Structure 1
Amino acid sequence: MSNKAGSFLWNLRQFSTLVPTGKTVRLCPLGFCRPKIVHPNWNLRNLPLSGFDDRMRSSVRHLLQGMCVFKSGNDGFLTEGVGTTAVLMVDRLCGPRRLSLDSKPPLVSVGSSGNGLKKVNFHHEVFSEDVLTKETKPTPTDSRKLSQECSSLSDVLDMFSKAPTFPSSNYFTAMWTIAKRMSEDQMRFEKHLMFSHPAFHQLCEHMMREAKIMRYNHLLFSLHAIVKLGIPQNTLLVQTLLRVIQERINECDEKCLSVLSTLIDAMEPCKNVHVLRAGLSILVDQQIWKIDRVFTLQAVMKCIGKDAPVALKKKLEMKALRKLDRFSVLNSQHMFGVLAAMNHRSVILLNECSRVVIDNIHGCPFKILVSILQSCKELQYRNVALFKGIADYVATTFDIWKLKQVLFLLILFENIGFHPPGLMDLFLKKVIEEPEFLNMQSIVSVLHVYSSLNHVYECQNREQFLGVMASALTACLPHISSENLLNAVWSFCLMNYFPLAPVNQLLQKDVISELLASDDMERNVHKLRLLETCLELDDTPYHKPIDLPLPQLPRMPQYQHVKVAQVLSSLLGGDRFFSENVQLPHDYHVDFEIRMNTDRTQVLPFSDVDAASTDIQRVAVLCVPRSAYCLGLSHPRGFLAKKMQHLNIMGFHVILVNNWEMDRLDMEEAATLLKTKIYLGEALPAAGVNLQST
């Protein structure tokens, strides 16, 4: 019995050299199982016979049951009985391998040695570094080499079909690298050939089979390439890779965090993407202070999205503030879009990045300028110095920009409410010189921008510009939609210009009926009523009324300006000297009306005077928000300017009271301010400059 035991221990000692590693599973904080590689010391002299651990017992058990291969399963490994007495446990991939397109060759072949112990003969498909030699390793093929040697997607698939190598991710990455060099039409044709190639489905099968053993960064790069190549997201390949990435998310290092964030941002929403985004948020929350690269930090911030917890957004903001001294110019430019993607308005970050952008504005690409302006609008971030810097840069380099690009920037400025007079003058002159640039959509956009920002009244070429725009609009009348026609004519009305042909076509019964039947009926009625008012009050060559009766719109609830009413009561001597919330003809409304003598030196009681008398001056007090002015200026925007003009025609002297100024003044200061506006001699210029800065 002792001889058998000694023989068994000798054989076991020899076998121990064939088992380089064991595998244990550690449960990570995210709730995913992460394999942990353990390198035990297999020296039986240091282990008592009674102290074999579970790993040794597992190995002995496999000596009797069969061979364990590298294919992962739910329990860690799947066993395939091959009727042998040898075992090889492979924990990770240490080298490339060749795969057959038709069958899966065995990893190990077993023979018999002369001493009675089963002998293991390793082929080049085995991955352990302990048994691989330079002569048995195939030449690795990386994605960069593939992309250089191949000129089309089909060439890469041909290379795969001839001699496939591990990992399959290299082929997908190489195909995406090649596709990026193609035009859209060529890429569309190449994708069609790719999907019909006989090796494509085999490559997808190899990719799914290798997903659990290839390096995590290769897995991420390959899925990113697969998505960019247009492989549908609901396919088994994409969903399988998403599940494997979820299971192995704890293998993320900083580089993988950046790639994973970019990948999630590029994918369409689905259940697996949602779960992966949630897992990434948890992982980022744990590793946020370990992130070193600013680029990785920004990619993560952009990926977690608007639905991330506020606490996590605050942590990311603090991390970004700590890295401010390492921000490059590009980092500062991209920070606007990152914060907009998070829907997190960090004024400190935005101010610092704005300073860097202004100092390095020359050479800034068009896409970056667009991203900055769009992000400022979404974040409601108003930095006049930043907007002025961008406008001045574009005006200085005006000749290098396309007119479409400048127009798009002007549209973004209008959305923000910023008025760049120098840039708008240059664009206006260019439109006069090159009217062929104008198409139907650009005509509507140009008219909207210039009327909304109330610019043409300060322009020397006003009549020439409006004539060019009217001629361009008239040429588009045969194929213009009713909505675009209304928008264009409404913009002309705000600029006090009435081209006959467009107005005639707009007032046709069928056009009016179509506008009243649209989904945005209330907005259309509002614009039609303004047109009707302009035709009645303004000096126009067109005096034909609108044939169809326009529906009455419900009156909007009026804001009660309590502080202004108190100040007027104290200043004028009681409530009987002014009227509040006065509704006027043509759907106009004023917050307060005061009646004074013609010299505007004395306020008259409402009950003692007649509004139709020629011996009185009616004063309209309008309480206006910031949005009624151009950003950072006292320059009224289009509708407010038009309303002031029409109130002047109706016999009113208009006074503008800024809501935000009244809120920060005490009662005495507010009374002094209103006194200087109401009484002549201390009042601001009004009536004659109804469309100018007040």
Structure 2
Amino acid sequence: MDSPQHVLSFRKKLTCIASWVFESVSVDSKMNNKARSLLWNIRQFSTLLPRSRALRIYHLGFCRPEVIHSKWDPRNHLLNTFDEGLQPSVRYLFQDIFISKSVDGCTQTKGISHAGVCKLERILCPRRLSFDTKHSFVSDGTSDHDLMKINFHHTSSEDVLTKKVRPTPVTYKKLAQECNSLSDVLDTFSKAPTFPGSNYFLAMWIIAKRISEDKRRFEKQLMFSHLAFNQLCEQMMREAKIMRYDHLLFSLNAIVKLGIPQNTLMVQTMLRTIQERIGECDERCLSILSTALVTMEPCMNVNALRAGLRILVDQQVWNIKHIFTLQIVMKCIGKDAPFALKKKLEMKALKELDRFSILNSQHMFEVLAAMDHRSVVLLNECSKVVTDNVHGCPFKVLISILQSCRDLRYQNEDLFSSIADYVATTFDIWKVKQVIFFLLLFETLGFRPPGLMDKLMERVAQEPGSLNVKNIVSILHVYSSLNHVHKVQNREFLEALASALTGCLHHISSESLLNAVHSFCMMNYFPLAPINQLIKENIINELLTSGDTEKNIHKLHVLNTCLKLDESTYKSVHIPLPPLPPSASHPNEKLAEVLGRLLEGKDASREMCSCHIIITLHFEIRMDTNRTQVFSFSDVDASSATNMQRVAVLCVPKSVYCLNSSHPRGLLAMKIRHLNVMGFHVVLIHHWELKKLQMQDAVTFVRKKIYSDEALPTTDATMESLD
């Protein structure tokens, strides 16, 4: 530590220098004020010298104070000490420029080593970290000649501060290029922390995106255990209130994508700060904020921020210029947003429809599903664009479109057909599991694509060994539900699936086995090994006591019925099961009134007749074999007559048919097959046709159905036995 005598000597020298400067400029009245100001600053500076603990003696004989700041950054200094305030002497010191003079013909500079001195013309704002470029920072080694070259009105702090004082600023792009891992970024931060901390999080997210999933998971673990990680999080919390708003939003998005828990203090602090400054949100910030909120779980701060975003969007919706921003905002506001806001966003999207790109049209399905708003007009227009440009569309985009249609209950046969035809045309480029994924979505939409399903049947018949249990169960579910049959390869297809399933019996779960056998039975096919495995007592007990027992019981009842009614080798097998719960369906009231008028009040129809455990009729009518005469149920002779025909009248909705077709789905086809086995003639009354008819027209409509020989819309699968 330097002695007090050295400090006193240096203070005397400063006083002499100031006096000499004052005398030299006193002749010039215009320079007098500057000299006084300089003298005052030197005196004030001299009062600060005793506080310095870095005074050193140099060989030249001058006592030069050098203030050493390790990794000192003016911006970081403001961040760390802003709340503490500035001492009055320091405030006065920063009012003018500190200038040195020439002594004995040699220019020497005496002042604070590596310390910037500037004039602050306004109160420091915690959200602006840039210094006034009208004033310069002068370092220790600056000569009088050098000072003459400095423009005190236009000198940037970047040009004068030495590298020893301030670390070179880094951008997140440069960090992402220079670093190969998340730990490298944190190592760089620990060596020289710079403002803003968002650069480090953005760089880590860019690196995380370009590495594999397994490596990313490992890198995240190293990131959380890194010593500098907590330090970076603390810096982010300090900088949140002074950082640019868009940088703050970018940081939040990167932090969420990196997997940092949402309930941490840093994330919650950022969310609260974003709420407080939401008035700074422009269109670009709306896009960034919406992107971040889409992936975040609900909590108090997230919900409050989303509510504020909705208010902001409601005010600015007509000023949004970019379609992508509009779509990400629509996706973010959520399903519970007010209907009026959803409608306003829909109208904005329709207004901008002419500016939609192909990508915008593809993305609109997911956007509407995210906000749970079924805009048929918007979906129809976007469907036309997708249909015209389906070739080359990525797998994920096509899947997203179909999933959105399912969630929105939107059915467009042209759209579905174009996607199915494209997949069938390019069948060889798709994996089997991708094709199965398409078919599962088509099944939930009620759409049967025959061409694509025939292609998969051929592939399965040729390569059954490539299927796993999940694939087998999914394929069986789709084909049994849509009641699809190939006239030539149907047996080979079912045998290949049965063979593949038999090879998996040693590790298949009980529920998967039940689902597979249930699908086989619906298609009137009974593989021996899977059924023998299923009807074991321990398997049945497991199905009745675990999982979705109600659904399992219903499927086991279907199995019992199929084994008894269809042409199988298991007619003597009976699985003891608990009774099914009472059916919640009721016969159609309008159809009951129509039949009453048609049969003129005779006791000729009976409601809800249970012909078997799982087969329930809406109405049963007894007629002669030519179906020209109706018998009463009380007529015993008619009941025993050999020429009597039992007619089952079913009132069915559209959902029992494939989309926009008369092709019955699996459950209806199985029901018709079983009723035919039991000697019924089945009459199907379409509910959607009946309800739009007047009573007189409805009677005529039903009369034609009952008294005619109109063929039922059945397929080979409903009648053909494959046993």
What TM-score comes out, normalization by structure 1 length? 0.81
Does residue 501 of structure 1 match 2:549?
A: no
Match of residue 85 from structure 2 = 79
Decide which of 626, 631, 647 is 1:599's aligned counterpart: 626
Distance 2:614 2:264 in 1: 58
CA contact (8 A) 1:655 1:677 kept: yes
1:93 aligned to 2:120? Answer: no
For 1:595 and 1:251, the matched residues in 2 are separated by: 78
Determine helix, strand or coil for the equivalent of 1:298.
helix
Indicate conservation of the 8 Å contact 2:624/2:630, yes or no.
yes
Q: Which residue of 2 aligns with 1:558?
A: 585
SS at match of 1:627: helix
**CA 1:474–1:544: 2 relative to 1, 3 Å:** farther
Task: Map 1:22-33 onto structure 2 (within 5 A).
Answer: none
Kindly provide the amino acid, as one letter, of the partner of residue 593 in structure 1: E
Counterpart CA distance in 2 for 1:611 and 1:170 is 88
- In structure 2, the residue matched to 1:349 is 378
Provide TM-score, normalisation by structure 2.
0.78
The one of 628, 649, 656 equivalent to 2:684 is 656
SS of 2:585's equivalent in the other structure is: coil
Amino acid at match of 2:551: R
d(CA) in 1 for partners of 2:303 and 2:80? 25
Q: Relative to 1, partners in 2 of residues 1:301 and 1:72: Cα closer, same or farther, differing over 3 Å?
A: farther
Cα distance 1:455–1:505, how it changes in 2: closer, same or farther (>3 A)?
same
CA displacement 1:293-350 (0-9 Å, x = unmatched): 1100111111111111111111111111111111111111111111111011111111
SS in 2 for 1:554: coil
Distance 1:82 1:186, change over 3 A: farther
Residue type at the aligned position of 2:649 = V
Q: Match of 1:296?
A: 325
The equivalent residue for 1:510 is 538
Match of 2:554 among 518, 526, 532: 526
The alpha carbon displacement at 1:275 in A equals 1.5
| Alignment partners' CA distance in 2, 1:331 and 1:686 | 41
Aligned CA distance change for structure 1 residues 219 and 655 (closer, same or farther; 3 Å): same
In 2, distance between residues paired with 1:692 and 1:538? 10
Q: Distance in 1 between matches of 2:506 and 2:168?
A: 67
Q: Secondary structure of 1:653's match?
A: strand
Deviates more, 1:224-233 or 1:667-676: 667-676
2:475 to 446, 464, 470: 446
- Cα contact 1:507–1:546 (8 A) shared by 2: no
Change (3 A) 1:385 1:612: farther
Q: 1:377 aligns with which of 388, 401, 406?
A: 406
Show the counterpart of 1:465. Answer: 493
How far, CA to CA, are the matches of 2:694 and 2:197 in structure 1? Answer: 73
Decide whether aligned partners of structure 1 residues 595 and 130 sit closer, same or farther in structure 2, where only a CA change above 3 A counts. farther
Alignment of 1:138-287 (within 5 A): 139-287=168-316
Q: 1:239, CA displacement in angstroms?
A: 1.6
8 Å Cα contact 1:354-1:386 kept in structure 2: yes
Amino acid of the structure 2 residue aligned with 1:399: D
Tell me which of 605, 616, 621 is aligned to 1:589.
Answer: 616
Following the alignment from structure 1 to structure 2, what is the Cα–Cα distance between the partners of residues 584 and 266? 52
The alpha carbon displacement at 1:82 in A equals: 5.1
Measure the CA separation in 2 of the matches of 1:688 and 1:236.
64
- 2:699 maps to a residue whose letter is A
Q: Is the 2:327–2:364 contact (alpha carbons within 8 Å) kept by the matching residues of 1?
A: yes
Kept in 2, the 8 Å contact 1:94–1:129? The answer is: no
CA distance in 2, matches of 1:679, 1:84: 106
Q: Cα deviations across residues 653-680 of structure 1 (Å, max 9, x unaligned)?
A: 0011111111112223323322222123
Q: What is the deviation of 1:565?
A: 2.0
Structural RMSD (CA): 3.0
Larger radius of gyration: 2
Structure 1 contact 425–459 (Cα < 8 Å) conserved:
no
The offset of 1:597, in angstroms, is 1.1
Matched, 1:132 2:157: yes
SS where residue 446 of structure 1 aligns?
helix
Which of 540, 543, 551 is equivalent to 2:568?
A: 540
Indicate conservation of the 8 Å contact 2:604/2:633, yes or no. yes
Q: Residue by residue, what CA displacement relative to the aligned partner does 1:103-158 show, whole Å, maximum 9, x if unpaired?
A: xxxx999xxxxxxxxxxx9xxxxxx9986364448754221122112222222223
Shift of residue 650, structure 1, vs aligned partner: 0.6
The 1:77/1:308 distance shift into structure 2, 3 A limit, reads: farther
Change in CA separation of 1:575 and 1:566 when aligned onto 2, cut-off 3 Å: farther
**Could you say what secondary structure the match of 1:583 adopts?**
coil
Pick closer, same or farther for the CA change 1:363–1:271 going to 2, 3 Å. Answer: same
1:627 maps to 2:655: yes
Moved more, 684-693 or 521-530: 684-693
Letter aligned with residue 364 of structure 2 = M
1:388 matched to which residue of 2? 417
For structure 1, which segment, 439-448 or 231-240, has the greater mean C-alpha deviation from structure 2 after superposition? 231-240
Kindly provide the amino acid, as one letter, of the partner of residue 540 in structure 2. I
Unaligned runs of 5+ in 2: 1-32, 39-76, 95-119, 139-146, 148-152
How many positions carry a matched residue from both structures? Answer: 602
C-alpha distance in 1 between matches for 2:719 and 2:280? 63
Distance 2:362 2:614 in 1: 46
Please report how far the alpha carbon of residue 71 of structure 1 lies from its aligned counterpart in structure 2 after TM superposition: 5.8
* 2:706 paired with 1:678: yes
Deviation at 1:208, TM superposition (A): 1.7
Cα distance change of structure 1 residues 230 and 129 upon mapping to structure 2, 3 Å threshold? farther
The Cα of 1:508 is off from its aligned counterpart by 1.0
